[in-house]
Amino acid sequence: MVLLTFNIVNSTAEVKNHAHISLEERLKITEENIKAVLRILDLHDIKATFFIELSIVEKLQNLIKAISGRGHEIAFYNQNTGIPEIERIKKITEDLLEKKIRGIRQKDFKLPLSELKLLGFNYISNIDNAHILFPFKRLKRNTEITEEDGLSIIPESISPYSQLPYNDFVFQLLPMKYYKNMVFETLKSDEFVLIYLNSWQFTDFDKYPFKMPFYRKLYSGKKMEDKLEELLSWINEKELATSRMKDYTF
């Protein structure tokens, strides 16, 4: 099973030459990036899970409705939001969509599982930091879903052969031929492959004056769209099963 997920986060990168990009402009860039992703998903009839960073959920109501209306799952991505605010945003979003929010993703800021369970979440998808050296570290950890405090804990996927994680950085830099082989080989030994990408990776950094490391600009923007489209074409060609996170953990 391929679990395709996207983190919707505003780029917090600084800008060049005293330029200014407002919060509203950053939100607009994020929206346009996700609309491009939605077009590609529609083209290949593949459903995904979108983890929206909690601080921008209320600013992206129309986008969230569009994502959900296409049959994709809405979940939350928590960078540093506390329990009371999560509860408030969760209720607003569920009222908007008339659907329950089942999942939450965490990275550096980890909240107690018991408190997240009380908010009505069913699963947690934790991710690690991805920087230039991280993909080349040898990783050994459990890649199976576990149950804790009544929640399904879904770990990041790691190739059992190359030991590369399926994070945003690896997808952006790895040649697609190698990446597809990695997915195919992983599915021979693991029940699922969890892939995640970030909305800012689809930004045209030649158009906007963000300060980005050269390795983060490589294969971004339209090239990321092309890589995603190639991956989804291959998934359909090989008839690999895909699923939203909430369906897989139900």
Question: pTM score, two decimals?
Answer: 0.93
Q: What is the mean pLDDT of residues 218-245?
A: 96
pLDDT digits (tens, 9 = 90+) for 96-137: 999 999 999 998 888 999 999 999 999 999 887 655 455 545
Position 65 scores a pLDDT of: 97
> What average pLDDT does the chain have?
91
Helix axes 61-69, 83-97, angle to 10 degrees: 60
Highest mean pLDDT: which range of 15-24, 65-74, 140-149? 65-74
Predicted local confidence at residue 60, as pLDDT: 96
The whole-number pLDDT of residue 116 equals 95
Number of H-type helices and E-type strands within the chain: 9, 8
Whether 196 has a pLDDT exceeding 70, the answer reads yes
Q: What is the pLDDT of residue 68?
A: 98
Which ranges constitute the DSSP H helices of the chain? 23-44, 61-69, 83-97, 113-118, 168-173, 176-189, 214-217, 222-237, 245-248
pLDDT in tens, 132-154: 455 545 455 567 899 998 999 99
Average pLDDT over residues 1-10: 96
Percent of all residues in the chain with a pLDDT value above 90, rounded to a whole number: 72
Dihedral sign, Cα of residue 149, residue 248, residue 159, residue 106: negative
The amino acid that residue 68 corresponds to is S
Relative to beta strand 49-53, strand 2-8 is parallel
Domains of the chain: 2-248 (3.20.20.370)
Cα dihedral 195→200→203→207 (10° resolution):
-160
Looking at residue 207, its amino acid is K
